[in-house]
Amino acid sequence: MAEDELHIADLTVGDFVARLSSGEPVPGGGAASGLAASLAAALVAMVARLSVGRPKYAIYAATHERAIPAADTLAARFLTLADEDAAAYAGFAAAMKMPRETAAEQDARKTALRDAARAASIAPMEIVRSCHRLAHEVESMAGRSNLNASSDIAVAALLTDAAAQGAAANVLVNLPTVADEAFETEMTQELVRYLAVIGEVTSRAREITGSGRLREPEES
């Protein structure tokens, strides 16, 4: 890793907030979305662990045993994706600063911007894709875990949806610069599909947790 490369997992919360509020272009909204999703995944893992070994929730043991490693993996994955998003946008910011005095320099800058914008679209798209997986883990835990921590599942649902929406905004803002109509269409259509599902699933999770009731175990 380069000496100046961002590694969010090594920062304190205060350090990350200070960097986010600085005048530097990275980290930005994509990295913040990745961090929010990581927090959502960590909440899922926490609630699952708070449910394990409690007789009242024993019928949901299979859900908890799956959710813990899945959520732990996603929490780490989102931090990596946040770093990747920051690195991708740093590349775009560097391309913006390229010289453009001559026609050759202008062509080189335009090519670099297109390549950097593609990378800066792909990185947050991966956050959205992972939020899709996380949303289903959140929903599966709703009404099948420790009721004393039901609000934590509701928070995880809200953070997952917000992270997906935030990452999607970062995809969309970069697509026009890629100047590839087929790529833009494919990414946009994928976003629409994922965001619809994520919104529906996280909304259902919040509705279930809000009821304060347990529900049937997942089908095996």
Q: CATH code at 181?
A: 1.20.120.680
Quote the domain boundaries for residue 152.
26-211
Following DSSP, what letter does each residue of 85-124 receive, concatenated?
A: HHHHHHHHHHHHTS--SSHHHHHHHHHHHHHHHHHHHHHH
- Per-residue pLDDT tens for 132-181? 999 999 999 999 999 999 999 999 999 999 999 999 999 999 999 999 99
Q: Is residue 42 part of a domain?
A: yes
Q: What is the CA radius of gyration of the chain?
A: 20
Q: How many domains does the chain have?
A: 1
Q: Is residue 109 part of a domain?
A: yes
Q: Is residue 3 part of a domain?
A: no
State percent of the chain over pLDDT 70.
98
- Per-residue pLDDT tens for 97-109? 999 999 999 999 9
pLDDT of residue 4: 59
Mean pLDDT of the chain: 95
Rounded to two decimals, what is the model's pTM? Answer: 0.94
